[in-house]
Amino acid sequence: MKANLYHVAVIGAGIAGATIARCLSEQGIRVSVLEAGSSAASGASGNHQGAVYIKPGVTANAETALGYAALACAQACYARWQQESGVQFWHPTGLLQVALSDADNLRQQRIIQEQQPDPKLLQRVCSDEASALAGIAIPRGALWYPGSGWVRPDRLCATLLQAPGVTLKTGVCVTTLTEQEHQGGWTLLLDQGDLLHADAVVVCAGNASSDLLPCPLPLKPIRGQVSLLPGNSSMAPAVVVCGDGYVNPPCDDWQLIGASFDLDDMDKDIRHSSHQDNLQRIAAWLPQLSQQWPETETWQGRTSFRATTPDYNPIAGPLWQDQALVQRLRRNARIKGISGETLLDTPGLYTLTGLGSKG
């Protein structure tokens, strides 16, 4: 970000916006967080539990290195923030990513052999070892993330937003962003007609981010419904277990599984068909566990909409003024020959969004 920032407006109070606010606060910057919902983490960040892990590719490259660094940073930050606040939102139970086929099994072995990751971050375990770690039958080998686990997103966001100098305003919609070219900074027009001035703006509004930016972003909402089963510790794993879907340890007498992946579907209602979809997908790779679950008629759920991008990578950083380049990137986000020195950004306008597939 540019130097000499005194006040930053962050639009959106999900995990992205709350984390940005906390990091700015640690630099001594005053932050106003504007949230359209009635509370923080009211959108896609509002599920009861969120798994923390990465999906590394087989080839060791810059993207996989970034993934490992981000995972280590997340684990360290969550532990530090939890210790400082005294609020429990981080549960480092460990996490298993189960191989779904023989080919996937070989792929996981290659990841370990070729990348040799830090064993504190990632290891490979056989079926028996995975079963012992999880406390349930795991039919195949898995990648084991010993320092990972799950977060309680609502508590995480609330904790981050308690940082010094951070003010949260809920039920507030930003309708227009106007750059103040002469005096510097930005003026935000709110839906009640109020104005807010800030030195910089960070848009972290999920799928709604594009509505506020001068250049439309290629964001695509994808419906996801999680299922909440009446909790029973004997029918739940001791660690997070991921495969085609995921199963979490119990939380508040509920067990969360999910999530559906419904393209071109903007239905906000909780659907029994989505519960059935979650059940069938997980039963395909955890048959013994799923047979113990109660009937889906007793399940509850929550629906939200992931903010995704064409290449499933997040969008982060300053906004560019070059419309032609934006159009090229919309068609292919991996185009080469772009130099950071040749880009003309919009001073003081940033975004962090598109976290729905690779958060």
| pLDDT tens figures, 43-76 | 989 999 999 999 999 999 998 999 999 999 999 9
- The answer to whether residues 255 and 116 belong to one domain is yes
Q: Is the CB of residue 9 less than 8 Å from the CB of residue 212?
A: no
Q: pLDDT tens across 191-204, in order?
A: 989 999 999 999 99
Residue 186 pLDDT exceeds 80: yes
Q: What is the pLDDT of residue 44?
A: 87
Rounded Cα distance between 233 and 213, Å, is 46
> What pLDDT score was predicted for residue 220?
94
Task: Look at residue 312 in the predicted model and tell me its pLDDT.
Answer: 86
pLDDT (tens digit per residue) in 243-293: 999 999 999 889 999 999 999 999 999 999 999 999 999 999 999 999 999
Q: Is residue 69 part of a domain?
A: no
How far, in Å, are 226, 252, 308 from residue 46 at the CA level? 11, 15, 17
What pLDDT is stored for residue 341 in this prediction?
46
Q: Is residue 323 scored above 70 in pLDDT?
A: no
Q: Is position 75 within any domain? A: no
Q: How far apart are CA 31 and CA 105, in angstroms?
A: 46
Q: What is the pLDDT at residue 359?
A: 53
Is the residue at 86 inside a domain?
Answer: no
Predicted pLDDT at 78: 98
The number of domains in the chain is 2
Write down the mean pLDDT value for the chain: 92
What pLDDT score does 214 carry? 81
Q: Of the residues 289, 304, 319, which one is the last residue of a structural domain?
A: 304
Going 57 to 226 to 281 to 265, the CA torsion angle's sign is negative
Omega within 30 of 0 (cis) for the link into 259 = yes
Contact 92, 115 (CB under 8 A): no
Give the tokens for residue 280.
């069938």
What is the rounded CA–CA span in Å between residue 220 and residue 240? 27
| 137 & 242 share domain | yes
Which 3 state secondary structure label does DSSP give 302? strand
Q: Please, which pLDDT band fits residue 342 given cuts at 50, 70 and 90?
A: very low
Residue-number span of the structural domain to which 349 is assigned: 7-45+155-219+311-353
If phi over 0 gives left and psi between -120 and 50 gives alpha, with beta otherwise, what is residue 173?
beta
Q: What percent of the chain is predicted at pLDDT more than 70?
A: 91
120 in a structural domain? yes
Rounded to whole angstroms, the Cα distance separating 1 from 20 reads 12
> Which of the four pLDDT bands, split at 50, 70 and 90, describes residue 213?
confident
| CATH classification of the domain holding 286 | 3.30.9.10
Say if residues 127 and 100 touch (Cβ distance below 8 Å).
no
Same domain as 141, residue 244: yes
Report whether 127 contacts 141 (CB < 8 A). yes
- pLDDT over 50 at 304, yes or no: yes
Q: What is the CATH number of the domain that holds 12?
A: 3.50.50.60
Tell me the mean pLDDT in the region 89-103. Answer: 98
Name the band, by pLDDT with cuts 50, 70 and 90, for residue 305: very high
